[in-house]
Amino acid sequence: MDRIYLSPPHIGTLERQYVNEAFDTNWISPAGPHITAFEQELAAYLGEGVHVAALSSGTAAIHLALIILDVKQGDEVICSSFTFSGSCNPVVYVGATPVFVDSEPVSWNLDPTFLRQAINDRITKTGRKPKAIIVVDLYGNPAKLDEITAISREFGIPLIEDAAEALGSSYKGRKLGTFGEFGILSFNGNKIITTSGGGALVSTNREFIEKARFLATQARDLAPHYQHSQIGYNYRLSNVCAGIGRGQLKVLDERVKARRANYEFYVKNLKNSSNFEFLSEPEGSFSNRWLTTVLIKTPGLYPEKLRLALEKENIETRALWKPMHLQPVFKDAPYYGNGLSERLFNEGLCLPSGTALTQENLGRIVAYLKAVR
Ligand SMILES: *Cc1c(COP(=O)(O)O)cnc(C)c1O
């Protein structure tokens, strides 16, 4: 049987043409017309008057957001605990300490109640406000962004929206990645669209985005020679990768439809089974359903057992993200919550969610899911 992957790249028809164009015009560097075009096309897609800097990864985008917000040694940054390490590693790059906040049960994202508790407690304990809040839209599902942006404003703490998994999702009609002072996107190979590797920083603040482009290209002063007045980074997306991104952007809406159809298929075929519980879509939320996730409710059937059983059938599934406050590397970081993300990690599994899955593939997966005890 052919292997069914969790979330493989799915290339459309125009990517190769854009890449050929980059080769034909010899723009093979982190400069060139595809980069500018990709930034403009992404900004147009997201709306809300945003500006975009195309970068080498989503992690780089968070790093630059923290630098531009002047997060430094000794500062604290609040971050969703239930996420991929790329969300919070950059907090450590700038010498700050992450403070982890647990999930709420509706979207599995940052819990506004624990967020408020964390801010108040950090102010009491350290005498200072946390310097930023990183909210993640996990698996493409919008966080409670109304409440979270209101708390960010109330305390005057800037918000970074990690929408790495959520391009194409929206909340109350507004595209994810456009909430907060900064949004970040990822075009890693497993994401809903890919540039092979890449990311973007999004903001309505033009100066912030210009600063990000400057820092991402080694912070060169305006001089005929190489002169630097501050530390820079090599974080720009290449013109070749931006060409792939332009082609992928053209099929993004189709990809969202296909991911949502995967989710619908799983729900329709497994809803009568009491073994699996799905995350629903609350009023106002529109998810790109990047990955379909299930909670396993059968006694004695746990995620690793199901994963290994499906692996034998050459079907790739994956555990949910292991919360950051449980990671050995972050064991000393403060945490606020009631253990929900840990319970989700212990009960959940990500199902194959690629956009090139056939009905036959999906049928095969569902048949095994029903059969495993
Ligand atoms: C993928 C991902 C990132 C990092 O993006 P890269 O482009 O891989 O650096 C950050 N946060 C989340 C939630 C992600 O899924």
Planar angle of CA 274, 289, 9, nearest 5 degrees:
120
pLDDT at 286 over 80: yes
- Which atom of ligand 1 is the closest one to the Cα of 136? 13
| Closest of 223, 222, 194, 199 to residue 212, by C-alpha | 199
Would you state the pLDDT for residue 126?
97
Does the C-beta of 57 come closer than 6 Å to ligand 1?
Answer: yes
Are the beta carbons of 175 and 141 closer than 8 angstroms? no
Domains and CATH numbers, the chain: 14-249 (3.40.640.10), 252-371 (3.90.1150.10)
| Closest of 98, 88, 181 to residue 136, by C-alpha | 88
pLDDT at 104 over 80: yes
pLDDT at 28 over 90: no
Would you state the pLDDT for residue 86?
98
Distance from Cα 172 to the centre of ligand 1, integer Å? 24
Residue 372 pLDDT class (50, 70, 90 cuts): confident
The answer to whether the predicted template modeling score (pTM) of the entire model surpasses 0.85 is yes
In tens, the pLDDT along 309-351 reads 999 999 999 999 999 999 999 999 999 999 999 999 999 999 9
Question: What mean pLDDT is predicted for residues 269-297?
Answer: 93
Does the C-beta of 188 come closer than 6 Å to ligand 1?
Answer: yes
Mean pLDDT of the chain: 96
Distance from Cα 83 to the centre of ligand 1, integer Å? 9
Does the C-beta of 86 come closer than 6 Å to ligand 1?
Answer: yes
Q: Where is mean pLDDT largest: 28-37, 47-56, 362-371?
A: 47-56
Bridge partners, residue 78, by sequence:
99, 133
Residue 290 backbone phi and psi in degrees, to 5: -50, -55
Planar angle of CA 146, 138, 323, nearest 5 degrees:
110
Does the C-beta of 135 come closer than 6 Å to ligand 1?
Answer: no
Are the beta carbons of 120 and 146 closer than 8 angstroms? no
| Closest of 9, 15, 63, 10 to residue 38, by C-alpha | 15
Q: What is the token pair recorded at 56? A: 């080498």
Residue with tokens 């997306």: 237
Neighbours of 236 (CB within 10 A): 24
Compute CA distances 3 → 112, 223, 316, 364, whole Å.
40, 54, 8, 11
pLDDT at 293 over 90: yes
Would you state the pLDDT for residue 29?
75
pLDDT at 27 over 90: no
Does the C-beta of 56 come closer than 6 Å to ligand 1?
Answer: no
